[in-house]
Amino acid sequence: MSLITLLLLLAFTVAIIVQTHRHATAASHQNFLHLSARHGNSSADLFGCSILCCEPTEVEHIQRLLDCEHCRFEVIVAINPALQGDVFRQIIRHYKMVRVNNSHPQETPAPDVNALYRSRQRGYRHLLVIDSAVKNPCEALNVALNASSYNHIIPLGGTTHLRRSALATLALTLTDESNRDAELILCDGSAPCYILQRDPLVERGGFSPSLVEQYPAESKRLLYLALADRCDEGNTLTLCILITSALSLLTITALLMGALVAACVAATIVLSTAAARYAIACREDEKCSLRTLLYQKGKIVKFFRSENSIFHNFFVSLRKKQKNTT
């Protein structure tokens, strides 16, 4: 049982290091593209994107979607006032929205549109709100897709928002010939998100739970770009729960399986905490680098090789026992 536990901890440790390395790769690529964006790129200026939002939970989430450092984009929010009446009224009142004509064709199966709203304020011309009797995220995304204008689509839930430089970074990435023909791109960062070409998406009938499986492998791309973040509400409570669970696990392990396995569990918990802190640091470009990751790996290796380590003493005593028996 102890051996199985040690193997599971080893597998978990390797998974943590791999995932952290992906965060480091995304951050390094992000830094490079951000510097390139500052120098300007005429091809990137032609990039247009429609951000589709379903199930928003607050007005501040919509505002974060509108705070993009790019000129060619739109934010389309499909919402059911019968299910989210308070949020709908807050959005209409906050952005001073007025009803406009509905002239968009139904290119994908979706509930009927009851009304379209746009803001009277110049600063919010990128925002379009749709009143529709949607019952699930796929229906909401399809309603928003029918009203979209640009060739690239980014679907987002109510707890995910883009970074300010996300669209400028994505525009530079898509100028690369290897990414131009990709119909579906997964940007893997702290909060993974998809970028889809509009016409192939409409041909497949719009959004569905099995949409990703409908795309052939040659039409997909995986990019290590940190474009989106999740809302941070509730993180303090989650952290307290995780710390309490970790300490309880450590105590139970020490009582049932001995000091060696307990020490391995403790080392894995420390590594998980360091990886989580590093992933948070990845959101701030100037604090994230591959050197930091290598430094953390070096500390872990040094811990296991230290002469004062319990692992070192354990293996030394094990070798002495083997010599005595022989």
Q: How far apart are CA 56 and CA 1, in angstroms?
A: 47
| Tally of CA atoms within 13 A in the half-sphere of 239 that contains its CB | 8
> Quick one: pLDDT band at residue 237, thresholds 50, 70, 90?
very low
CB atoms < 10 A from the CB of 300, how many? 16
Question: Strand 127-132 vs strand 193-197: parallel, antiparallel, or unpaired?
Answer: unpaired
Residue 281 and residue 150 share a domain: no
DSSP string, 152-168: EEEEE-TTEEE-TTHHH
What average pLDDT does this structure show over 98-115? 88
For the chain, what is the domain count? Answer: 2
* 211 falls within a domain: yes
Segment 93-99 mean pLDDT: 94
Judge whether 30 lies within some domain: no
Residue 87 domain flag = yes
Q: Does residue 168 form part of some domain?
A: yes
Domain that holds residue 16: 2-24+234-312
Q: Contact 72/48 with Cβ under 8 angstroms?
A: yes
What pLDDT does 130 receive? Answer: 95
Q: Which of 53-62, 282-291, 315-324 has the lowest mean pLDDT?
A: 282-291
More confident residue, 243 or 204: 204
Do 77 and 193 have their domain in common?
Answer: yes
85-95, pLDDT tens digit by residue? 999 999 999 99
Specify whether the backbone of 205 is left (phi greater than 0), alpha (psi in -120 to 50) or beta: left
Same domain, 57 and 147: yes
Domain contains 100: yes
Q: Higher-confidence residue: 301 or 5?
A: 5
Per-residue model confidence as pLDDT tens digits over 270-311: 776 666 666 555 554 444 444 444 444 444 455 444 444 444
* Residues 141, 8 within the same domain: no
Q: Is residue 318 part of a domain?
A: no
Query: How much is the mean pLDDT over the chain?
Result: 75
- Pair 12, 114 in one domain: no
Cβ pair 74, 150 in contact under 8 A: yes
Q: Would residue 34 count as lying in a domain? A: no
Domain-embedded: residue 14: yes
* Shared-domain flag, residues 97 and 111: yes
Instruction: Provide the 8-state DSSP code for 48.
Output: -
